[in-house]
Structure 1
């Protein structure tokens, strides 16, 4: 079921992770869909692209995994340079990491959030999880494009992307 709209997040206490993300997406007016009781997908407009978000809850581990997909596919000839830049980027990240799915060559940002024994997600945790994912995708999106379309080396692509990002502030 696809939903959009504005809501009042201030009225919600901690709740099941997928439910809390649904409330956040609805309050922000983002399109989203519950795939199951343990999974939600949505779309968020970033600075460079529309990102697909996918969150999966594993109750047996109390882990909520969030994937942010910038809809970038990596052709075989660019994979070595992309893996190199991902290594350089991941060294700088405190939360989450970038990767390329081997089965479909899609670039993604992934973060796993370990929740307490009650398995509840707070509004601030939900907001932080989504905001960090989108901010990191926005911050490094130019580096990926410099490699895919500009034929820059991984180090040059990263340096150029970070200079451009600093200039936007």
Structure 2
């Protein structure tokens, strides 16, 4: 008799456990889907700013969502992505900062970017900054310098932003 009771309790426990797992699965699947959706939404570029420090100048690009992949590349001149026209920033050396995937506008076409589009800057190294493109998942900035820039680039979080430090 005790063997039958143990068998019944084991079967009932197994059925109860299976029922609980089947109810829990959709909730965890929804959580995973929500996390995946948040990461796959295109991050928005909302601002660019700069500052001078004792041993370096800093460029900060603020994003909403997450910091996308960013490449910082020395280029011989700055050009606007859409037109191919030169960016009117004085300098001998230039860096292109390209974020992808990223956008500086909403799906409805409204700008999310509140920073400068073309700005002369009078810091030790940094002489200018321009938003040079917002097209097909790429947002591009150009930075101008009078001397060869030695830089370090990295992402920071909470709030989300990308930083380029240029040594003096």
- How high is the TM-score relative to the length of structure 1? 0.31
Task: Kindly indicate whether structure 1 or structure 2 has the higher relative contact order, using CA contacts under 8 Å at least 6 residues apart.
Answer: 2
Greater strand proportion: 2
- How high is the TM-score relative to the length of structure 2? 0.31
